[in-house]
Structure 1
């Protein structure tokens, strides 16, 4: 028997050294990393291209709306300003900082044959309402030939009516809610509950009235009288504005300034309003200018996005702070 049978020769080499397992693994990882990087660059490229496109489209839309408004304002039209919601500071449609610039623009526009202030508000800040009322009076004196009417939507109460009485005329729907000529200051008192559960309020002040209206402290008769005096003063300001604005049209009763409110039809009977109408009917029948241009300062998309972004960031920061504090206390 040949000895070669017991010592087989290994197969001939192909001439290329075989890669060890770890080398192959490294090459594969490098290949995958390169592929991921390419995909990531591609995704970011698509993202930036889409972002640029969105910004460009928004810019075109803003420019188109601006030009459209400018063209509309060149022709005779009815100017419309909306107050919708609570009258308060902060940039909403019921804030003086939003309403007053719109009023100035509408009164100054020679193509606006008349102005309609549409109100749908339950009331709000007497300060904001007073500022708007004063500005309407001032502008009306500067532009005496330009009619200024109020059209009531669902409701024109309290601070809303404070503003409305500056108008030449007030138009309502039969079922609108009008009035509530009064002032309130509300809050809660927890002193009795605290005594029952055995909680002691520890409040130190410099000034005997510094804790005035603190819900966890008892209110003295002197403080109650002072608060009522403030309310009566603001109420009288409201009454004076209504009497000045409505003049002889107002049919005063013992309930007129009691804080009650009425339907639109009853408001016309009491002289709180002048008649029935809508924005469209007033523009058509009174101003003879059916084209209506909205002068309301609406919050734009960028502002809304920034506000939501800011709110989300604030909520996230607060959550992080609370979470961090909790873990620390534990």
Structure 2
């Protein structure tokens, strides 16, 4: 007689009807903005991982952990749309788990879930659009620096930090922000439906909340952690299979062939990424 333990060892999980399998993907980092040690979240960087997670045979669901302070609205939309496309094609439920932060674009990603869970201390929300910069007009004047900019098109140097801010430039920026904000609000309303407490005037103000506050506003469906929530739903025999990005071993990844321009760009990316995380106390 062949023991069940021996059969379990040789029979692939997808052929064991009694064993539910859930694939798990982590979306971690700023969206569209990366650093040498923390690559950006973009559709290009995560598409292969998502396809492998949804493409596994015989799975019961796909779980996605989100830990992101936001970033590019376009990349947030692209990743969200891809998740929903794959979920529809494979007819699989998607459960999202908010970690430290699922705010701004990070919450855009979280809305790809059919259900969203958070820790009590997770920071959730920030449904808004932000632009931040500096003005150096007086600084360069004191240093005796002359700014020389030549453009074809009167609006090509809009919001140049070395030139005085113009009212019409700010109005144009705000009109763009309003359009992006409307798209964000429309998506959240569509995905959260009646669960969302839209009568709360702060929901779309850019405010953010801890887990239970987010739950009270309908931004998440429950307080809980990935393994416990999944076991409660699929049973103690559940197997969670982590799907991670493929790792290349190019010379640049090992630190060779990095140019001076790369260092300068990476430094700015680090500062911008740091500013995103610091907004949420991290």
**Scaled by the length of structure 1, what TM-score is found?**
0.68
Q: Does 1:105 align with 2:105?
A: no
The structure richer in helix per residue is 1
Q: Following the alignment from structure 1 to structure 2, what is the Cα–Cα distance between the partners of residues 215 and 307?
A: 33
Q: Does 1:132 align with 2:79?
A: yes
Structure 1 residues 168 and 194: CA distance shift in structure 2, 3 A = same
Unaligned 5+ segments in structure 2 are 1-8, 264-282
Counterpart residue number, 2:174: 228
Unaligned 5+ segments in structure 1 are 1-67, 319-330
Secondary structure, counterpart of 1:118 in structure 2: strand
Q: Following the alignment from structure 2 to structure 1, what is the Cα–Cα distance between the partners of residues 262 and 66?
A: 38
2:247 pairs with 295, 299, 309, which one? 299
Structure 1 residues 173 and 298: CA distance shift in structure 2, 3 A = farther
Judge conservation of contact 1:251–1:270 (CA < 8 Å) in 2.
Answer: yes
Q: Following the alignment from structure 1 to structure 2, what is the Cα–Cα distance between the partners of residues 228 and 287?
A: 46
Counterpart residue number, 1:82: 26
Q: Using CA pairs under 8 Å that are at least 6 residues apart, name the structure with larger relative contact order, 1 or 2.
A: 2
Q: Following the alignment from structure 1 to structure 2, what is the Cα–Cα distance between the partners of residues 167 and 316?
A: 39
Larger Rg: 1
Query: For each residue in 1:2-40, what CA deviation from the matched residue of structure 2 results, as whole angstroms up to 9, or x when unmatched?
Result: xxxxxxxxxxxxxxxxxxxxxxxxxxxxxxxxxxxxxxx
Counterpart residue number, 1:94: 41
What is the CA-CA distance between 1:254 and the residue it aligns to? 1.0
Counterpart residue number, 1:216: 162
Structure 1 residues 287 and 94: CA distance shift in structure 2, 3 A = farther
Query: For each residue in 1:91-124, what CA deviation from the matched residue of structure 2 results, as whole angstroms up to 9, or x when unmatched?
Result: 9362211322222222222222111100111111
Judge conservation of contact 1:178–1:263 (CA < 8 Å) in 2.
Answer: yes
Counterpart residue number, 2:113: 167
What is the CA-CA distance between 1:82 and the residue it aligns to? 0.2
Number of equivalent positions: 246
Structure 1 residues 95 and 317: CA distance shift in structure 2, 3 A = closer
Counterpart residue number, 1:24: none
Q: RMSD of aligned C-alpha atoms?
A: 2.6
1:187 pairs with 125, 133, 136, which one? 133
Judge conservation of contact 2:97–2:225 (CA < 8 Å) in 1.
Answer: yes
